[in-house]
């Protein structure tokens, strides 16, 4: 064998071995590439056929389509902008109306438009309403919303008989003062004269002569004792007719409150317990026994007439 043939045979064997090593991995890749190329070719041919079937697109058609699209877009933007503007105007109008209302109300309430020109006092019985009005004259001219509560309280402390009060603004110009008077239960006799007091021992007035219609209180220890508080509750439980007949109330303890009626009859009341029931029983006993000299209602279920 010639040397050149030997070299060629060895080269052929190396190439065959190299192809055997490479071919198994390359075969699938090549098949996939071929299939993909075939699919692309088919798709391209189909698109070419479809394009051939359709009419050619003119530049004027493209221009008209673009113009219509721009016109529709501008209309949509304009419609959206108009809605937003209307909503914004409505919100601003509503807020402006509320602010204007608040400002107007504040100016009216705190201005001279609602200033106090008249003071009306209700609830005064033994108290002179005109005197209360005169004491509150400092509030005239003040806006109803700026009434000086501290000044009103200071003015009304001149009247000890006032137990509580309330203020009511009645636009445009009236200030209504509702007062609740203390209920006097009798008078305490002292060197200064006759002192009218309520059930809490608050001094309402002092006069040299006993006020009409008020019983004299003879309480051991004075107005700061439990006996006085018990006697005060008893007097407050009496009806107006029955109270008008009482001339004296005495007590040394909380359990021995005694009433003295006109013409001399006495009533042993006892404690202030069940006072409402005792008052009803006593009224019935007085009506049925007008000549009796004494009554005992300390036990209202078993009263005694003497």
pLDDT at 3: 43
Q: What is the distance between the alpha carbons of residues 300 and 118, in angstroms, rounded to a whole number?
A: 52
- Kindly report the number of other CB atoms within 10 A of residue 194's CB atom: 18
Residues of the chain with pLDDT > 90, as a percent, come to: 49
On whether both 172 and 265 belong to a single domain, the answer is no
Alpha-helical (H) ranges within 54-179 are 59-109, 129-135, 149-156
The continuous run of DSSP H or E covering 280 comes out as helix 275-288
Average pLDDT, the chain: 81
On whether both 189 and 176 belong to a single domain, the answer is no
Residue 136 falls inside a structural domain: yes
Summarised one tens digit per residue, pLDDT across range 130-157 is 999 999 999 999 888 888 899 999 999 9
Q: What is the distance between the alpha carbons of residues 303 and 306, in angstroms, rounded to a whole number?
A: 10
Residue 196 falls inside a structural domain: yes
Domain residues for the domain of 220 are 184-305
pLDDT at 235: 95
**Interacting residues of 95 by C-beta distance below 8 A, sequence separation 6+:** none
Phi-psi bin for 274: left (phi > 0), alpha (psi -120 to 50), beta?
left
Residue 286 falls inside a structural domain: yes
Tell me which of 139, 154, 181 is where a domain ends: 181
The answer to whether 184 and 223 have CB atoms below 8 angstroms apart is no
Tell me which of 139, 165, 181 is where a domain ends: 181
pTM of the model: 0.58
Residue 40 falls inside a structural domain: no
Q: What is the distance between the alpha carbons of residues 286 and 238, in angstroms, rounded to a whole number?
A: 14
On whether both 75 and 155 belong to a single domain, the answer is no
Summarised one tens digit per residue, pLDDT across range 163-194 is 999 999 998 899 999 999 999 999 999 888 99
Residue 44 falls inside a structural domain: no
| Residue 12 scores a pLDDT above 80 | no
Summarised one tens digit per residue, pLDDT across range 234-253 is 999 999 999 999 999 999 99
Instruction: List strand residue ranges (DSSP E) for the chain, in order.
Output: 118-122, 162-170, 174-181, 184-190, 193-198, 203-207, 216-219, 246-251, 257-261, 266-270, 294-296, 304-305
pLDDT at 218: 95
Tell me which of 181, 212, 240 is where a domain ends: 181
pLDDT at 59: 74
Eight-state DSSP code of residue 139: G
Range of weakest confidence among 2-16, 24-38, 108-122, 175-189: 24-38
On whether both 213 and 296 belong to a single domain, the answer is yes
CATH number of the domain bearing residue 231: 3.40.50.11690
The answer to whether 220 and 251 have CB atoms below 8 angstroms apart is yes
On whether both 188 and 301 belong to a single domain, the answer is yes
| Number of domain units in the chain | 3
Range of weakest confidence among 62-66, 152-156, 221-225: 62-66
On whether both 204 and 301 belong to a single domain, the answer is yes
């Amino acid at each position: 064998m010639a040397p050149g043939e030997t070299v060629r045979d060895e080269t052929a064997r190396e190439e065959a071995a190299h192809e055997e090593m490479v071919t198994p991995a390359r075969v699938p890749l090549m098949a996939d590439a071929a299939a993909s190329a075939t699919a692309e070719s088919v798709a391209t041919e189909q698109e070419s056929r479809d394009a051939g079937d359709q009419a050619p697109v003119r530049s004027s058609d493209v221009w008209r389509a673009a113009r219509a699209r721009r016109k529709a877009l501008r209309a949509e933007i304009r419609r959206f902008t108009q809605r937003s503007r209307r909503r914004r105007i409505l919100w601003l109008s509503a807020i402006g109306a509320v602010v204007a209302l608040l400002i107007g109300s504040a100016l009216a309430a705190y201005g001279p438009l609602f200033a106090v020109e008249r003071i009306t006092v209700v609830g005064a019985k033994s108290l002179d309403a005109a005197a209360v009005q005169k004491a509150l004259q400092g509030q005239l001219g003040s806006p109803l919303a700026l009434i000086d509560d501290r000044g009103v309280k200071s003015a009304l402390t001149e009247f000890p008989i006032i137990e509580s009060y309330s203020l009511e603004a009645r636009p445009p110009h009236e200030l209504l003062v509702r007062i609740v008077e203390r209920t006097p239960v009798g008078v305490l006799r002292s060197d200064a004269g006759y002192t009218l007091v309520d059930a809490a021992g608050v001094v309402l007035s002092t006069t040299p002569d006993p006020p009409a219609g008020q019983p004299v209180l003879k309480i051991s220890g004075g107005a700061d004792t439990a006996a006085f508080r018990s006697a005060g509750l008893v007097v407050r439980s009496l009806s107006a007719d029955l109270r008008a007949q009482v001339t004296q109330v005495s007590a040394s303890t909380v359990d021995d409150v005694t009433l003295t009626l006109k013409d001399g009859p006495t009533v042993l009341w006892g404690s202030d317990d069940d006072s409402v029931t005792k008052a009803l029983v006593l009224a019935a006993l007085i009506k049925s026994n007008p000549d009796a000299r004494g009554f005992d209602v300390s036990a209202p279920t078993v009263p005694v007439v003497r």
